[in-house]
A and B are shown apart, each in its own frame.
Chain A
Amino acid sequence: MPKVKIPRKSTSVDMTAMCDVSFLLLTFFILTSKFKPTEPVAIDIPSSRSEITVTDAIKISVDKNGKAYVNYPSAPFRIQALTNMAEKYPAKYGFLANLSAKQKATFGQVETFGCDAKALPDLLNKKPDEIDKLATGIPMDSLDNQLGDWIMAGRYVDPKMRIAIKGDKLTDVKAVQQVIKTLTDKDIHTFNLITTLAGGAKKAEEQN
């Protein structure tokens, strides 16, 4: 009886299909991930146990020195808010109506802005990254509370938009309380504090 010869097969597998799939996934992840927004100041947020995620919100950043910045969710939102400022408060911000289309487009590109409204027309002739460097914080004292006006301008764009406060760990709590007071004065009583997730402590009841 003759021996049955088993034909030798090549061990290499065609990788083309796998390569296709993996690059498809790669493209998907790159496109869906949001890039970290550029900010005029680095803010080191505190940690908490809270696990609520916020996606779209008007974010008010408060840096270490107690300066406030506003971050609207998208470019069209920013431009609409700027228009609202001039329309809803003509006495105070009427000069913002004279901004050119180019200046408004520049405002749309600045993700987080923080400057006196009076300085805006000049600033918007510069490039977005230069504007970031010149941020001085939005005035929010009781005499000239521009922060409250910017928040209301955002609320006119979308009344259901959430408000979130993003403070630095080392911010003096008085600055944050001033922001909270600004919000409650505008009849906004529910908002979020942005934190990172910290593991550890369970509810006291669960431990016992």
Chain B
Amino acid sequence: MAEIDTSGGGGGKHGGKVRGKKLSTKVDLTPMVDLAFLLITFFMLTTSLNKPKAMDLNMPKKLDEKKQDVKESQVLNVLLAGGDTIWYYETSEGKMTDMKETSFGSSGIRDVILKKQKHVEKAFGHDKTVGDKTIVLIKMAEGAKYKNMVDILDEMDITSTKIYAIQDIVPIEQETIDNGGKVKAGEEVVRH
């Protein structure tokens, strides 16, 4: 893309003075434009990829601790343990049933929650007096990582579980996990 010099140059024919050849002042800017656009692309891509997102978390206020009527068959207890494992159990007549182990992901805890939701819907229909929603209680056992907490909160969003709470773990629950999910006889009562 070199420019063709049309200015005629110095007249060689006429003898006389030797004039310096007039050089064109135009510079080819194409590579510079290429470079500039390359940098623009780079900056646009790196800045947009770097933006962190956030998830909302609402904790209950202590003052207005309203007691809600909750049937125990609505409640699913989910315990996060070390090594990315999850234990869950339901209660029956105030007693803890044996815990089952599952994992994160669509075939693990998500399936458990969805089944529970269907079960609750069947049992209560749309009885507004007891509330027709599944309640998930999340508890952190020994060895749980922050990633697990975010994952389970994500799972709440995926399964559209509206009512869930993060609670402190009760000693007997930790003991049961250490015991491989089997409830020890004699200390089966769990209060909510």
Contacts and interface: CB of A to CB of B under 8 A. Distances in A.
Interface string A176-208: 110010011001011111111100011111000
Contacts of B110: 204
Interface stretch (B14-22, B68-76, B143-151, B182-190): B143-151
B47 interface: yes
Contacts of A195: 52-55, 150
A99 interface: no
Contacts of B47: 29, 33-34
A22 interface: yes
A30 interface: yes
Interface residues of A, number: 58
A184 to B, nearest CB: 5
Chain B interface size, as a band, is 35 or more
B7 interface: no
Nearest to B31: A15
Interface of B: 1, 3-4, 28-30, 32-33, 36-37, 39-40, 43-44, 46-47, 50-62, 80, 106, 110, 114, 140, 143-151, 153-154, 157-160, 166
14 contacts: A19-B33, A26-B43, A30-B43, A34-B47, A48-B55, A49-B157, A52-B54, A168-B146, A173-B146, A191-B56, A193-B55, A196-B53, A202-B158, A203-B158
